[in-house]
Structure 1
């Protein structure tokens, strides 16, 4: 439903202009009964006034109809764009058209411009008889031939304007010389249906009352019969009840354990189920001397060293995700334990010897990471993310990629840890925003949009940390990713200035390849694009980093140009 169209704004009541949109509104039939009504979908064409709007370097020139929408409680740019406006626009475009409005601070009653995508026939199209270009949102169940058939045009005509790479919820333009007649659903007959419903209601009430009366009589008889014998049974059960009460705590504890184990029943055949006493012995009863960080302890048993993560019972989702992933750049889960006494859950991971990347970059003054090691770490993390994004079904979004969740083993190879916030499946909306300041993607903060592209954004921040040695969010609250705005738009001289200003002094002392650092910074900037659709996939990022690694440390120096996705 397009809300402003439903309210009949001036743009839709003017004389039909060449751009139109195809929309589905909702209308009500005449009430069948005083307290009921039937709502049916209504497909229609609506003429709009289309204009070419010069936006900025990011969006370029955009043809759109500016439709004003009044914000209601609970509205966000994303929800209104995808729901009320049926994806006829995007929340990124709305942000550009309303630069003075903050997506996270919308007030009820705010007047917001929503640009509905449109296009006018050009001179060549007009000469071939195209009188209208209809804006239509391509649905997941659509294909080009079915859409063309519905509008009475040839498939090639649609392809000529929109190309072949059309994705669900893209706005496409249908060239027509006259508007086809769209079939509408017929409202249900009213009078006869109303009489039938009233007659059925009366018969149903009469039958129900009769049955209830019979059941009531039977119930009274059963109660009287049971009462006659209840006193004798109660006397004989006093001792049994005392025994039952004394054993109740044990039974409740067992019940909790059974319920928790049922939640993770799918994991039982893949992971070892540890006993709580084993973990207490391994960690000296979770003594502070064994604490690694947060609620993660170092434990030793069966001749091995493990990392034991203690948490309240909220690990079910994490276990389900971990049991379907297996990759060398992900920290391996060895087993788990459930303590029914305090309903805690313990996840037992492989122990990674060299700690987290954050400590090496920001805390360990004696530690020095060479540029080659940093590149190798970046490639490892990229490969791990590529695996969970591309090779799991449904895709897994980590949601908390940051340098403190990247661990380094004895060979300084990186592994992604902590899937506590991970989500199986993407392109979902959440109202519970969690994460670490400085790494969170803008679309997640403003609209709660969860997708693999939010991991790409966070990875871009990690790349900046590797290049600069700075934290993602400094003591003054400045965000590291904001420092590279416009890097890809500058000339070579400007890029060199930005790189020199950002490079970790330890890398400057190493005299590492300036061109290699510049290439990594270009990858990071592409990952940090505010428009998630313009960010590269992790498979492209992994390829770009591996190519840069080969160029930096191989004899061959061919092919120094940046990968195609960086130029988009």
Structure 2
């Protein structure tokens, strides 16, 4: 509740500012974008763009703005100092996270936009994207399209201008900003927490910057002050209005507008208070119901209350523990279904051996749906915190959880993935030949997309820390999903002395220095690629798989393809499988890059996903729905 009042005050301030804001005609932008830096090693990088909500009047919620730019609502909310469900008002500044890359000597973030009736390059650039790109560059990036003859429904790439920081400017990131009428370098420096000289060094002198073109703003923290202060557009100066038009009548109109604005703002405040109270009531009711169920379970399994002073003392200790557990999980009560232990016991036959999938994960049937139920001691808080901020088709989805306080046990209930782990398919010689190269390539790309999401579209970034073939699950269509976030860490570039992981997948810098970064996931991903190609275990009879890669490439005899063919999984040679050795060699090159001992030399998952998608084009006949599983076999659909 104590975070609510500042929010409502901010809304009131924004509402009053909006009453004074008038629309202005936007002249055609003349930005020509930014050339790539001579140091290409800085690409790709994390960059941002300052976008004003309401630039397109139909986009006044985070989901719509995220869809426009092709970024997740959560990453947009994190960067913009908002919650995922925060309402927006016209003019509200949003920080859009971009993965800035270099293509054809242009530095930009590509956004795919589907042309609607009436759209032109200019209108979409200025109206929809708020002048963060410009129509001349859109033409350059889409050479096969005719700007004056755009078909409705055609996809056009709109390059959102961006740039990567270099060691010279020393900034954390660079924000692309559309220069507005009335802006000065001094005002922009104040809004973003930088200095005028830094703006000049990136953009040239202020006099050379035209309105509605983009400038680059270096920032030392995310979000910058322009976001945390909830800055909204300032009203146009009355100096630009002829004196004859400023009358007492217009003054009265403004006063009436302020009164109306106050009434609207107070109404919004009242509504938000009501929503907050209803939310608290819902949490209280769920907590009370949970406590009642816990009491019933305690009576059932303990045969009622114990006698004597010792029993009373034990009940007090359990109550204290229960209160702590409730405090830990209360923030997730409205996000996931809370199951009763009786439901799980019935679904799994009392967690019988017949229901065991692997380790401490059981298969259970509840309400006609099959779930995977992970049983663990009460240490799931960190895993829950990670899982509630991710949502992607290539990540296993959390459906709910259950707490058993007396046993100190937590159960996480996940969607059930029908075909089990990639490890079981690759290393079961009876099934490996059914996993052809097209399926393996698709699995590699799915895994890359899942890791790209947690690395690039979460804030702080998530590092999985335990990528391996047994944590890659395959659904009924043999599409891959990342599972098991038990070791995941939110935030990277940290150092730990507690080394965890699986031999054969752990990055060297993590073993030696305990350094936790997204590049340790990239290393483990490279090992999984080797498993996909070779069909071999990451560690077999003391031999570590990734250490063999350099031997395949180091000889200069030009017979790399032949050595890879001799090294690859013999199951890939069985049957009449369509396979390109060029594709296999490309995947081996990607794996080799991921396994560089220096983490700085490894590619990001953005690079990997892009390169693999090009390799996937070798199989243009491959359909996402082209593989189905029946009776444990892959069959053509």
- What's 1:402 paired with? 468
- What's 1:508 paired with? 573
- CA change 1:364–1:310 in 2 (3 A) is farther
- Cα distance in structure 1, aligned partners of 2:448 and 2:324: 38
SS at 1:462 equivalent: helix
- What's 1:267 paired with? 332
- CA change 1:167–1:441 in 2 (3 A) is farther
Specify which of 588, 596, 599 is matched with residue 529 of structure 1.
596
- What's 1:369 paired with? 435
SS at 1:501 equivalent: helix
* 1:74-101 Cα shifts (integer Å, max 9, x gaps): xxxxxxxxxxxxxxxxxxxxxxxxxxxx
SS at 1:320 equivalent: helix
- CA change 1:155–1:491 in 2 (3 A) is same
- Cα distance in structure 1, aligned partners of 2:362 and 2:506: 27
Specify which of 351, 356, 375 is matched with residue 421 of structure 2.
356
Paired residues for 1:99-178 under 5 Å: none
Q: Higher Cα Rg: structure 1 or 2? A: 1
- CA change 1:396–1:155 in 2 (3 A) is closer
- What's 2:315 paired with? 250
SS at 1:493 equivalent: coil
Deviation at 1:285, TM superposition (A): 1.1
- Cα distance in structure 1, aligned partners of 2:599 and 2:219: 15
- What's 1:458 paired with? 524
Runs of 5+ unmatched residues, structure 1:
1-134, 157-163, 169-241, 556-568
- What's 1:383 paired with? 449
Q: Does 1:493 align with 2:558?
A: yes
Specify which of 588, 595, 619 is matched with residue 552 of structure 1.
619
Deviation at 1:489, TM superposition (A): 5.8
User: Do the aligned residues in 2 keep the contact of 1:138 with 1:167 (CA within 8 Å)?
Assistant: no
SS at 2:399 equivalent: strand
Deviation at 1:539, TM superposition (A): 0.8
SS at 2:540 equivalent: coil
- What's 1:538 paired with? 605
User: Do the aligned residues in 1 keep the contact of 2:345 with 2:351 (CA within 8 Å)?
Assistant: yes
Q: Does 1:313 align with 2:367?
A: no
- CA change 1:316–1:518 in 2 (3 A) is same
User: Do the aligned residues in 1 keep the contact of 2:464 with 2:487 (CA within 8 Å)?
Assistant: yes
TM-score, normalising length: structure 2: 0.49
Deviation at 1:553, TM superposition (A): 3.3
- Cα distance in structure 2, aligned partners of 1:275 and 1:309: 14
- Cα distance in structure 2, aligned partners of 1:275 and 1:396: 30
- Cα distance in structure 2, aligned partners of 1:499 and 1:246: 68
- Cα distance in structure 2, aligned partners of 1:387 and 1:399: 15
TM-score, normalising length: structure 1: 0.55
- Cα distance in structure 2, aligned partners of 1:489 and 1:370: 28
- Cα distance in structure 1, aligned partners of 2:376 and 2:429: 28
User: Do the aligned residues in 1 keep the contact of 2:173 with 2:219 (CA within 8 Å)?
Assistant: no
- CA change 1:309–1:496 in 2 (3 A) is same
* 1:252-286 Cα shifts (integer Å, max 9, x gaps): 32322221121122211111111111111111111
- Cα distance in structure 2, aligned partners of 1:364 and 1:310: 30
Deviation at 1:554, TM superposition (A): 5.1
User: Do the aligned residues in 2 keep the contact of 1:484 with 1:498 (CA within 8 Å)?
Assistant: no
User: Do the aligned residues in 1 keep the contact of 2:527 with 2:595 (CA within 8 Å)?
Assistant: yes
- Cα distance in structure 1, aligned partners of 2:431 and 2:537: 17
- Cα distance in structure 1, aligned partners of 2:552 and 2:168: 36
Q: Which moved more, 1:294-303 or 1:316-325?
A: 294-303
SS at 1:337 equivalent: strand
Paired residues for 1:314-333 under 5 Å: 314-333=379-398
Paired residues for 1:53-72 under 5 Å: none
- Cα distance in structure 2, aligned partners of 1:332 and 1:488: 39
- CA change 1:497–1:364 in 2 (3 A) is closer
SS at 1:285 equivalent: coil
User: Do the aligned residues in 2 keep the contact of 1:362 with 1:471 (CA within 8 Å)?
Assistant: yes
- CA change 1:364–1:410 in 2 (3 A) is farther
Q: Which has the higher contact order (CA 8 A, sep 6+)?
A: 2
Q: Does 1:347 align with 2:412?
A: yes
Deviation at 1:340, TM superposition (A): 1.0
- CA change 1:358–1:155 in 2 (3 A) is closer
* 1:502-523 Cα shifts (integer Å, max 9, x gaps): 2111112336211110011111
